């Protein structure tokens, strides 16, 4: 009798605790609220990212990439050139012929498989391929630019098309890879031969804050779909992430400072890179203007700085420190003269 009573008490307590934390209706209600910047509701996320199959160009690219495994010399060279604020280009290491990969990326749109229910979008095994292709094409671009070949821009264009192939992938890993590649393209573009091709306007206009907010939303959608028990903490997390996305979208500084609501979401170094990329894009655009004999734009979209140029050196008004773990940041002080 006592055991039966004890069991009833335990079951009753469990039901009471579960009823206190269970929040299926509350989670559904918060999922139906629209996110800022026209991002729609959590329920609308799958409709924005319907399933997609990998196309033939992607399969062919994978085959061509097999001969370009990671190369320590190439990696070190690209990082040094990105970090150097000098127009002069060092001699690159020897690399295999990249013409077939370059021509494919310039000729055909590459589409990767998309399944937002899959962890990392299923692209985690391809990260090393993206990185090795980016670095070898940038090495080729730098070598050709060193010889003053206008076609150096074609290698950068190929990297940019590879970057754009990840646009429709909302998971965090492809977003990080795309941001890394975009920053690398921008970081060496100011050293390329003049004139600047029209396609580079896409790089100047690219911003990663909104895509990262979409990634945040996609992750909340995933938690809701695959969390067995819909508890009140999940509802609170979704609400706070939606608020956080609005705060991030309104930020105009290029030196990232975590907003109030960031205690509920991991705002790692990725966000520092995304906000700093705004100043990096301006650095490249102004350096190219200065090299072409045009006036630089002193005004910045960054509310925490502006630009100066003394006919030799281009400078942002303040340093924006960034402790890099893997990638290298371009400097915000560039010596534009040879």
> Is there a domain that residue 79 lies in?
yes
Across 222-300, the runs of DSSP E, i.e. the strands, are none
State the pTM of this model: 0.89
What pLDDT sits at residue 236?
A: 84
Q: Is residue 38 part of a domain?
A: no
Give the per-residue pLDDT at 122: 84
Domain membership of residue 113 (yes or no) is yes
Q: Do 191 and 138 meet the contact criterion of CB atoms below 8 Å apart?
A: no
SS3 164: helix
* 114 domain residue, yes or no: yes
Give the pLDDT score at 10: 43
The reply to whether 238 falls in a domain is no
Count of domains observed in the chain: 1
Q: In this structure, is residue 232 part of a structural domain?
A: no
Q: What is the pLDDT of residue 21?
A: 47
Residue 33 lies in a domain: no
Say what the pLDDT of residue 228 is: 53
d(CA 2, CA 182): 68
pLDDT of residue 8: 45
Compute CA 113 distance to the chain's CA centroid, rounded to the nearest angstrom. 19
Residue 264: predicted pLDDT: 46
CB atoms within 10 A of CB 233: 12
Contacts 24+ apart (CB under 8 A), 155-160: 155/98, 155/102, 156/185, 156/188, 156/189, 156/192, 156/200, 157/105, 157/106, 157/197, 157/199, 158/101, 158/102, 158/105, 158/106, 159/105, 159/133, 159/134, 159/184, 159/185, 160/185, 160/199, 160/202, 160/203
Q: Indicate whether 255 belongs to any domain.
A: no
Would you state the pLDDT for residue 17? 43
Output the pLDDT for position 3: 57
Range of the domain at 178: 48-212+268-335
Are the C-beta atoms of 48 and 256 separated by less than 8 Å? no
pLDDT reported for residue 158: 98
198, 247 contact by CB (below 8 A): no
pLDDT digits (tens), the chain, 338 positions: 555 545 444 444 443 344 444 456 777 888 889 999 999 999 899 999 999 999 999 999 999 999 898 789 999 999 999 999 999 999 999 999 999 999 999 999 999 999 998 877 889 899 999 999 999 999 999 999 999 999 999 999 999 999 999 999 999 999 999 999 999 999 999 999 999 999 999 999 999 999 999 999 999 998 887 765 556 778 888 888 999 999 999 999 999 988 765 554 567 889 999 999 999 999 999 999 999 999 999 999 999 999 999 999 999 999 898 766 666 899 999 999 76
* Per-residue tokens: 169: 């992938």
């Amino acid at each position: 009798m006592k055991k039966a009573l004890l069991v009833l008490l335990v079951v009753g307590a469990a039901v009471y605790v579960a009823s206190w934390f269970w929040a299926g209706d509350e989670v559904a209600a918060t999922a139906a609220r629209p996110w800022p910047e026209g991002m729609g509701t959590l329920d609308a996320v799958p409709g924005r990212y319907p399933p997609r199959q990998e196309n033939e160009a992607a399969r062919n690219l994978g085959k061509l990439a097999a001969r370009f495994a990671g190369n320590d010399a190439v990696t070190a060279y690209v990082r040094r050139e990105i970090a150097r604020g000098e127009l002069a280009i060092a001699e690159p290491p020897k690399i295999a012929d990249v013409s077939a990969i370059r021509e494919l990326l310039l000729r055909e749109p590459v589409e990767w498989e998309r399944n937002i229910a899959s962890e990392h979008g299923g692209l985690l095994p391809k990260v090393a391929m993206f990185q090795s292709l980016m670095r070898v094409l940038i090495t080729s671009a730098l070598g050709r630019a060193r010889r003053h070949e206008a076609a150096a821009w074609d290698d950068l264009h190929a990297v940019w098309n590879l970057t754009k192939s990840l646009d429709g992938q909302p998971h965090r890993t492809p977003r990080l890879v795309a941001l890394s590649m975009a920053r690398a393209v921008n970081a060496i573009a100011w050293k390329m031969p003049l004139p600047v091709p029209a396609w580079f306007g896409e790089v100047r206009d690219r911003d990663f804050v909104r895509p990262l907010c979409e990634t945040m939303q996609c992750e909340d959608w995933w938690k809701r779909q695959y969390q067995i028990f819909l508890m009140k903490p999940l509802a609170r997390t979704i609400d706070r992430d939606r608020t956080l996305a609005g705060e991030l979208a309104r930020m105009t500084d290029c030196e990232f400072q975590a907003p109030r609501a960031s205690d509920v979401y991991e705002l790692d170094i990725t966000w520092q890179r995304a906000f700093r990329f705004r100043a990096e894009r301006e650095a490249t655009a102004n350096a190219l203007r200065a090299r072409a004999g045009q006036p630089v734009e002193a005004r910045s979209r960054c509310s925490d700085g502006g630009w100066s140029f003394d006919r030799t050196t281009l400078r942002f008004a303040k340093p924006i420190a960034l402790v890099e773990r893997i990638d290298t940041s371009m400097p915000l002080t560039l010596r534009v003269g040879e």
